[in-house]
Amino acid sequence: MTDGLVGVLGVGLVDPTAPLLRADDLGVVRGDGCFESVRIRPDGGAEDLDLHLDRLARSQAALDLPATDPAAWRELVGTLLAVWSGPGEGVLRLIVTRGLAEGAPPTAYALLVPIGERQLAERRDGVSAITLSRGMPADATVEAPWLLGGVKAISYAVNMAALRYARASGADEVIFTSTDGQLLEAPTATVVWLAGGMLRTPPPAPLGILDGVTVRHLFRAAAAAGFGTEIQRGTVADLHAADGVWLLSSVRIAAAVLALDGKPLTTDPDTTARILRAAGG
Protein backbone atom coordinates (compact mmCIF):
# COMPACT_ATOMS: atom_id res chain seq x y z
CA MET A 1 0.00 0.00 0.00
CA THR A 2 1.51 3.31 -1.10
CA ASP A 3 -1.43 5.75 -1.07
CA GLY A 4 -2.43 5.56 2.58
CA LEU A 5 -1.30 5.79 6.18
CA VAL A 6 -1.25 3.21 8.98
CA GLY A 7 -1.06 3.82 12.70
CA VAL A 8 -0.98 1.41 15.64
CA LEU A 9 -2.80 2.28 18.87
CA GLY A 10 -0.26 3.18 21.55
CA VAL A 11 2.57 3.25 19.03
CA GLY A 12 1.76 5.87 16.40
CA LEU A 13 2.55 5.95 12.70
CA VAL A 14 4.13 2.87 11.16
CA ASP A 15 5.47 2.11 7.71
CA PRO A 16 2.38 1.34 5.57
CA THR A 17 4.40 -1.04 3.40
CA ALA A 18 5.70 -3.11 6.35
CA PRO A 19 3.95 -6.26 7.67
CA LEU A 20 1.56 -5.48 10.51
CA LEU A 21 -0.65 -8.52 11.27
CA ARG A 22 0.64 -11.94 12.23
CA ALA A 23 -0.74 -14.86 10.26
CA ASP A 24 -2.29 -16.32 13.43
CA ASP A 25 -4.07 -13.13 14.52
CA LEU A 26 -7.62 -14.17 15.40
CA GLY A 27 -8.98 -11.32 13.33
CA VAL A 28 -7.50 -13.06 10.30
CA VAL A 29 -8.11 -16.71 11.07
CA ARG A 30 -11.57 -16.28 12.64
CA GLY A 31 -12.82 -12.84 11.61
CA ASP A 32 -12.96 -12.08 15.33
CA GLY A 33 -13.02 -8.33 15.75
CA CYS A 34 -14.80 -5.09 14.94
CA PHE A 35 -14.17 -1.82 13.15
CA GLU A 36 -15.45 1.65 12.31
CA SER A 37 -15.20 3.67 9.10
CA VAL A 38 -14.88 7.43 9.58
CA ARG A 39 -15.14 9.90 6.71
CA ILE A 40 -12.32 12.44 6.49
CA ARG A 41 -13.71 15.64 5.02
CA PRO A 42 -11.87 17.70 2.38
CA ASP A 43 -10.96 20.16 5.17
CA GLY A 44 -9.12 17.36 6.97
CA GLY A 45 -11.62 16.88 9.80
CA ALA A 46 -12.91 13.50 10.99
CA GLU A 47 -16.73 13.41 10.65
CA ASP A 48 -18.58 12.32 13.81
CA LEU A 49 -15.44 10.77 15.33
CA ASP A 50 -16.85 10.62 18.87
CA LEU A 51 -19.99 8.81 17.68
CA HIS A 52 -17.83 6.28 15.85
CA LEU A 53 -15.64 5.75 18.92
CA ASP A 54 -18.75 5.20 21.05
CA ARG A 55 -20.05 2.61 18.59
CA LEU A 56 -16.64 0.92 18.42
CA ALA A 57 -16.67 0.60 22.21
CA ARG A 58 -20.16 -0.95 22.10
CA SER A 59 -19.05 -3.45 19.48
CA GLN A 60 -15.99 -4.38 21.56
CA ALA A 61 -18.18 -4.91 24.62
CA ALA A 62 -20.61 -7.11 22.66
CA LEU A 63 -17.69 -9.21 21.44
CA ASP A 64 -16.11 -9.40 24.93
CA LEU A 65 -13.01 -7.72 23.52
CA PRO A 66 -10.80 -5.77 25.93
CA ALA A 67 -11.69 -2.08 25.96
CA THR A 68 -9.44 0.41 24.21
CA ASP A 69 -8.90 3.99 25.34
CA PRO A 70 -10.92 6.58 23.35
CA ALA A 71 -8.33 9.23 24.19
CA ALA A 72 -5.60 7.05 22.69
CA TRP A 73 -7.69 6.66 19.53
CA ARG A 74 -8.16 10.43 19.30
CA GLU A 75 -4.42 10.93 19.69
CA LEU A 76 -3.70 8.38 16.96
CA VAL A 77 -6.27 9.94 14.64
CA GLY A 78 -4.73 13.36 15.24
CA THR A 79 -1.30 12.00 14.37
CA LEU A 80 -2.58 10.50 11.12
CA LEU A 81 -4.47 13.63 10.09
CA ALA A 82 -1.46 15.85 10.83
CA VAL A 83 0.47 14.18 8.00
CA TRP A 84 -2.44 13.23 5.73
CA SER A 85 -2.09 14.81 2.29
CA GLY A 86 -4.47 12.66 0.28
CA PRO A 87 -6.52 14.44 -2.38
CA GLY A 88 -10.17 15.08 -1.59
CA GLU A 89 -11.90 12.93 1.00
CA GLY A 90 -10.52 9.96 2.90
CA VAL A 91 -11.85 7.02 4.84
CA LEU A 92 -10.31 6.18 8.22
CA ARG A 93 -10.83 2.64 9.47
CA LEU A 94 -10.36 1.92 13.17
CA ILE A 95 -9.87 -1.83 13.60
CA VAL A 96 -9.72 -4.02 16.69
CA THR A 97 -9.14 -7.79 16.62
CA ARG A 98 -8.85 -10.33 19.42
CA GLY A 99 -5.14 -10.56 18.75
CA LEU A 100 -3.02 -13.67 19.01
CA ALA A 101 -5.01 -15.69 21.55
CA GLU A 102 -7.97 -15.59 23.91
CA GLY A 103 -7.03 -13.24 26.75
CA ALA A 104 -4.13 -11.67 24.86
CA PRO A 105 -4.01 -7.91 24.21
CA PRO A 106 -6.12 -6.92 21.21
CA THR A 107 -4.61 -5.82 17.92
CA ALA A 108 -5.73 -2.22 17.37
CA TYR A 109 -4.75 -0.07 14.43
CA ALA A 110 -5.99 2.60 12.02
CA LEU A 111 -5.87 2.73 8.23
CA LEU A 112 -6.40 5.98 6.30
CA VAL A 113 -6.85 5.90 2.52
CA PRO A 114 -8.61 8.02 -0.12
CA ILE A 115 -12.29 7.30 -0.71
CA GLY A 116 -12.69 5.08 -3.77
CA GLU A 117 -14.09 6.31 -7.05
CA ARG A 118 -16.96 3.81 -6.91
CA GLN A 119 -18.28 5.21 -3.63
CA LEU A 120 -17.99 8.78 -4.89
CA ALA A 121 -19.80 7.84 -8.11
CA GLU A 122 -22.62 6.15 -6.17
CA ARG A 123 -23.02 9.24 -4.00
CA ARG A 124 -23.17 11.42 -7.12
CA ASP A 125 -25.19 9.22 -9.48
CA GLY A 126 -27.25 6.92 -7.24
CA VAL A 127 -27.56 3.13 -7.26
CA SER A 128 -29.87 0.33 -8.28
CA ALA A 129 -30.69 -2.30 -5.67
CA ILE A 130 -32.34 -5.66 -5.18
CA THR A 131 -33.94 -7.05 -2.04
CA LEU A 132 -32.52 -10.24 -0.55
CA SER A 133 -33.66 -12.21 2.48
CA ARG A 134 -31.24 -12.38 5.38
CA GLY A 135 -32.83 -15.72 6.25
CA MET A 136 -34.01 -14.81 9.76
CA PRO A 137 -37.13 -13.24 11.30
CA ALA A 138 -36.87 -9.56 12.15
CA ASP A 139 -36.35 -9.99 15.89
CA ALA A 140 -34.04 -13.02 15.73
CA THR A 141 -31.14 -11.36 17.52
CA VAL A 142 -33.30 -10.67 20.59
CA GLU A 143 -33.57 -14.40 21.29
CA ALA A 144 -30.10 -15.13 19.89
CA PRO A 145 -27.75 -12.31 20.96
CA TRP A 146 -24.75 -14.38 19.81
CA LEU A 147 -25.78 -13.42 16.26
CA LEU A 148 -24.27 -10.04 17.16
CA GLY A 149 -27.06 -7.84 15.88
CA GLY A 150 -25.97 -4.23 15.63
CA VAL A 151 -22.27 -5.07 16.00
CA LYS A 152 -19.93 -3.75 13.29
CA ALA A 153 -17.91 -6.95 13.15
CA ILE A 154 -15.10 -7.52 10.67
CA SER A 155 -16.82 -10.77 9.59
CA TYR A 156 -18.18 -9.29 6.34
CA ALA A 157 -18.12 -12.41 4.16
CA VAL A 158 -21.94 -12.68 3.99
CA ASN A 159 -22.31 -8.98 3.17
CA MET A 160 -19.72 -9.18 0.40
CA ALA A 161 -21.34 -12.34 -0.99
CA ALA A 162 -24.67 -10.49 -1.16
CA LEU A 163 -23.07 -7.60 -3.03
CA ARG A 164 -21.43 -9.97 -5.52
CA TYR A 165 -24.80 -11.63 -6.08
CA ALA A 166 -26.41 -8.24 -6.71
CA ARG A 167 -23.74 -7.17 -9.17
CA ALA A 168 -23.92 -10.48 -11.02
CA SER A 169 -27.66 -9.76 -11.30
CA GLY A 170 -27.04 -6.31 -12.79
CA ALA A 171 -27.67 -4.24 -9.64
CA ASP A 172 -25.30 -2.19 -7.51
CA GLU A 173 -26.64 -2.80 -4.04
CA VAL A 174 -28.70 -4.99 -1.72
CA ILE A 175 -31.41 -4.17 0.79
CA PHE A 176 -31.83 -7.04 3.25
CA THR A 177 -35.26 -8.12 4.45
CA SER A 178 -36.34 -10.50 7.21
CA THR A 179 -38.22 -13.72 6.58
CA ASP A 180 -41.34 -12.00 7.92
CA GLY A 181 -41.09 -9.24 5.33
CA GLN A 182 -39.55 -6.36 7.26
CA LEU A 183 -36.86 -3.99 6.03
CA LEU A 184 -33.46 -4.38 7.64
CA GLU A 185 -30.37 -2.68 6.18
CA ALA A 186 -27.93 -2.77 3.28
CA PRO A 187 -24.62 -4.66 3.55
CA THR A 188 -22.70 -1.45 4.29
CA ALA A 189 -25.42 1.17 4.73
CA THR A 190 -28.67 2.14 6.45
CA VAL A 191 -31.96 2.46 4.56
CA VAL A 192 -33.89 5.75 4.73
CA TRP A 193 -37.08 6.59 2.86
CA LEU A 194 -39.20 9.75 2.53
CA ALA A 195 -43.00 9.67 2.78
CA GLY A 196 -45.29 12.59 3.48
CA GLY A 197 -42.38 14.86 4.33
CA MET A 198 -41.07 12.41 6.94
CA LEU A 199 -37.70 10.69 6.72
CA ARG A 200 -38.05 7.17 8.08
CA THR A 201 -35.58 4.43 8.95
CA PRO A 202 -35.97 1.02 10.69
CA PRO A 203 -35.17 0.81 14.42
CA PRO A 204 -31.77 -0.77 15.23
CA ALA A 205 -33.35 -2.64 18.16
CA PRO A 206 -34.99 -5.09 18.18
CA LEU A 207 -34.18 -5.62 14.49
CA GLY A 208 -30.49 -6.25 15.18
CA ILE A 209 -29.23 -3.81 12.57
CA LEU A 210 -26.43 -1.27 12.88
CA ASP A 211 -27.23 2.03 14.57
CA GLY A 212 -26.19 4.27 11.69
CA VAL A 213 -24.00 7.24 12.60
CA THR A 214 -24.80 9.06 9.34
CA VAL A 215 -28.54 8.58 9.89
CA ARG A 216 -28.20 10.14 13.32
CA HIS A 217 -26.32 13.05 11.76
CA LEU A 218 -29.08 13.47 9.17
CA PHE A 219 -31.92 13.23 11.68
CA ARG A 220 -30.32 15.89 13.92
CA ALA A 221 -30.25 18.31 10.97
CA ALA A 222 -33.50 17.19 9.31
CA ALA A 223 -35.82 19.84 10.74
CA ALA A 224 -33.60 22.67 9.48
CA ALA A 225 -33.65 21.01 6.04
CA GLY A 226 -37.46 20.86 6.04
CA PHE A 227 -37.98 17.19 6.95
CA GLY A 228 -39.66 15.43 9.83
CA THR A 229 -38.16 12.19 11.13
CA GLU A 230 -39.49 8.90 12.41
CA ILE A 231 -37.90 5.60 13.36
CA GLN A 232 -40.29 2.84 12.38
CA ARG A 233 -40.45 -0.60 10.85
CA GLY A 234 -41.01 -0.77 7.11
CA THR A 235 -41.59 -3.10 4.18
CA VAL A 236 -40.47 -3.28 0.57
CA ALA A 237 -43.89 -1.88 -0.39
CA ASP A 238 -43.08 1.23 1.66
CA LEU A 239 -39.98 1.80 -0.46
CA HIS A 240 -41.86 1.44 -3.75
CA ALA A 241 -44.49 3.93 -2.51
CA ALA A 242 -41.96 6.41 -1.10
CA ASP A 243 -41.04 9.86 -2.36
CA GLY A 244 -37.41 8.78 -2.31
CA VAL A 245 -35.10 6.09 -0.92
CA TRP A 246 -31.45 6.47 0.09
CA LEU A 247 -28.65 4.31 1.43
CA LEU A 248 -26.69 6.17 4.10
CA SER A 249 -23.16 5.38 5.20
CA SER A 250 -20.16 7.29 6.47
CA VAL A 251 -18.29 7.02 3.17
CA ARG A 252 -21.03 7.52 0.58
CA ILE A 253 -23.06 9.78 2.91
CA ALA A 254 -26.32 9.33 0.95
CA ALA A 255 -26.78 7.42 -2.31
CA ALA A 256 -30.21 7.70 -3.93
CA VAL A 257 -31.79 4.34 -4.85
CA LEU A 258 -32.95 4.77 -8.45
CA ALA A 259 -34.51 1.34 -8.92
CA LEU A 260 -35.45 -1.57 -6.67
CA ASP A 261 -35.90 -5.12 -7.93
CA GLY A 262 -35.95 -3.79 -11.48
CA LYS A 263 -38.68 -1.19 -10.86
CA PRO A 264 -37.88 2.57 -10.93
CA LEU A 265 -38.29 4.47 -7.68
CA THR A 266 -39.28 8.11 -7.27
CA THR A 267 -36.17 10.29 -7.30
CA ASP A 268 -35.61 14.02 -7.10
CA PRO A 269 -32.10 15.52 -7.39
CA ASP A 270 -33.01 18.56 -5.30
CA THR A 271 -34.27 16.38 -2.43
CA THR A 272 -31.14 14.24 -2.61
CA ALA A 273 -28.98 17.38 -2.50
CA ARG A 274 -30.84 18.56 0.64
CA ILE A 275 -30.34 15.18 2.28
CA LEU A 276 -26.64 15.13 1.38
CA ARG A 277 -26.11 18.56 2.94
CA ALA A 278 -28.03 17.63 6.08
CA ALA A 279 -26.15 14.33 6.42
CA GLY A 280 -22.76 16.03 6.22
CA GLY A 281 -22.02 16.14 2.49
Task: Check whether residue 82 and residue 188 sit in a common domain.
Answer: no
User: Is 8 a residue whose pLDDT tops 80?
Assistant: yes
Task: Check whether residue 239 and residue 149 sit in a common domain.
Answer: yes
User: Is 170 a residue whose pLDDT tops 80?
Assistant: yes
State the pLDDT at residue 86: 79
CATH code for position 85: 3.30.470.10
The count of structural domains within the chain is 2
Domain coverage including residue 103: 5-115
State the pLDDT at residue 1: 57
Buried b (16+ CB within 10 A) or exposed e, 46-65: bbbbebbbebbbebbebbeb
Q: Are 222 and 93 in contact (CB under 8 A)?
A: no
Of 115, 148, 169, the one marking the end of a domain is 115
Task: Check whether residue 111 and residue 145 sit in a common domain.
Answer: no
Q: Could you tell me the pLDDT band of residue 129, with boundaries at 50, 70 and 90?
A: very high
Task: Check whether residue 213 and residue 239 sit in a common domain.
Answer: yes
> Reading across the β-sheet that carries 107-114, which strands appear in turn?
12-14, 5-8, 107-114, 90-97, 33-40
Q: Could you tell me the pLDDT band of residue 103, with boundaries at 50, 70 and 90?
A: confident
Task: Check whether residue 56 and residue 166 sit in a common domain.
Answer: no
Q: Could you tell me the pLDDT band of residue 237, with boundaries at 50, 70 and 90?
A: very high
Task: Check whether residue 185 and residue 201 sit in a common domain.
Answer: yes
| pLDDT per position as a tens digit, 177-227 | 999 999 999 999 999 999 999 999 999 999 999 999 999 999 999 999 999
Of 88, 115, 142, the one marking the end of a domain is 115
Of 73, 96, 115, the one marking the end of a domain is 115
Pick from 225, 222, 251: which is nearest to 122 by CA? 251
